[in-house]
């Protein structure tokens, strides 16, 4: 869009060469996909031929090689970008030790969308350590549905964001940090109540715990949607419903006043206002997937989980565009 400064300035990069072009991003994604597809092909062929030893080695090889490539010290394969990413991961994992940068909480927010993936990784690693890679039976044991480690893995990203909010409040004394922390705290009852299905009687689950889970799921979804629109995207949907802010649009590097759009904001970077309205509606619909992936008792329908995961990827990708836009407008001091 030829904006000056570049919108990714919000990530406070010391070296602009860390930025990857969209072609480089697709190139990295293509290599990762090819490696995964090759690994999966060997796994399926070995499993079909009864060679469980080779099959069991395939996921183990993938799980070890991925962080090895990411942390490789050699100056190859976008070394600056890899170092920036690993540094941000380290800062994200220790939220109380330093002020929280935009990259820190942005990555932690993305991690919240990957909560289900983290719980799956925990289960897979547990199976590998127990020597049961080829065992798909859930008997409720160490790596089964009754394990406390599964809800803990689901809650880990929200715990990190909660600690980040606490650190931001300590540094800024802004009350909004506490309200944001409350949003992430609202995920914990959903996770805990869902996991209790495997520890209570069927009648107790139907009579009390499932209704309570549904109530807290509704609260978490509604609060998260409100925060997306009001604070993360800085749109005026909720305030306009009560009184109405007026707006315009900005394209290129200078403000250019255009027709007023209700429910948005005075300054828009993206030219098409329809994109903002689509995001408002679709984010409301896609937020429902948040509850599904936070609920460990809903993990058995693989087809539904795959669909929900794809929807959450779409929602988080869309969210990131408008979250970066808001941060950029704050930096260049446009209304």
- Reported as a single tens digit per residue, the pLDDT across 13-50 is 877 778 888 899 999 999 999 999 999 999 999 999 98
Q: Is the pLDDT of residue 258 over 50?
A: no
The mean per-residue pLDDT over the stretch 48-74 comes to: 90
Please name the residues in contact with 323: beta carbons below 8 A apart, sequence gap of 6 or more: 106, 109, 232, 233
The mean per-residue pLDDT over the stretch 213-224 comes to: 92
Which pLDDT score, from 0 to 100, does residue 306 have? 83
Which pLDDT score, from 0 to 100, does residue 294 have? 66
Judged by phi (left if over 0) then psi (alpha if -120 to 50, else beta), residue 306 lies in: alpha
Residue 293's pLDDT band, with cuts at 50, 70 and 90, is low
Helices 102-113 and 115-129 cross at an angle (nearest 10°) of: 70
Q: Is the pLDDT of residue 52 over 90?
A: no
pTM higher than the cut 0.75: yes
Please name the residues in contact with 273: beta carbons below 8 A apart, sequence gap of 6 or more: 249, 261, 264
d(CA 150, CA 25): 31
Which pLDDT score, from 0 to 100, does residue 16 have? 76
């Amino acid at each position: 869009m030829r904006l000056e400064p570049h919108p990714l300035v919000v990530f406070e990069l010391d070296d602009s060469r860390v930025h990857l072009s969209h072609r480089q991003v697709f190139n990295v994604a293509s290599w990762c996909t090819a490696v995964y597809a090759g690994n999966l092909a060997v796994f399926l062929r070995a499993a079909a031929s009864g060679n469980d030893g080779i099959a069991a080695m395939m996921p183990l090889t993938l799980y070890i090689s991925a962080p090895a490539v990411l942390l490789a010290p050699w100056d190859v394969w976008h070394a600056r970008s890899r170092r920036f990413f690993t540094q941000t991961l380290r800062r994200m994992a220790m939220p109380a030790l330093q002020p929280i940068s935009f990259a820190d909480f942005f990555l932690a927010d993305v991690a919240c969308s990957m909560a289900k993936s983290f719980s799956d990784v925990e289960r897979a690693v547990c199976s590998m350590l127990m020597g049961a890679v080829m065992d798909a039976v859930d008997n409720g044991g160490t790596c089964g549905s009754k394990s406390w480690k599964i809800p803990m893995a689901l809650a880990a990203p929200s715990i990190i964001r909660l600690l980040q909010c606490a650190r931001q409040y300590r540094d800024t004394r802004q009350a909004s940090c506490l309200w944001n922390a409350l949003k992430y705290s609202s995920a914990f009852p959903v996770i805990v109540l869902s996991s209790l299905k495997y520890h209570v009687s069927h009648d107790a689950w139907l009579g009390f715990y499932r209704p309570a889970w549904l109530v807290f799921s509704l609260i978490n979804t509604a609060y998260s949607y409100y925060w997306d629109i009001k604070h993360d995207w800085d749109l005026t949907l909720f305030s306009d419903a009560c009184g109405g802010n007026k707006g315009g649009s900005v394209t290129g590097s200078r403000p250019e006043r255009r027709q007023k759009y209700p429910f948005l904001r005075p300054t828009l970077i993206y030219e098409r206002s329809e994109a903002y309205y689509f995001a408002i509606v679709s984010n409301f619909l896609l937020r429902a997937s948040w509850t599904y992936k936070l609920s460990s008792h809903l993990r058995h329908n693989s087809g539904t989980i795959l669909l929900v995961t794809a929807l959450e990827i779409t929602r988080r990708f869309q969210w990131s565009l408008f979250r970066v836009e808001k941060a950029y407008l704050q930096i260049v001091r446009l209304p």
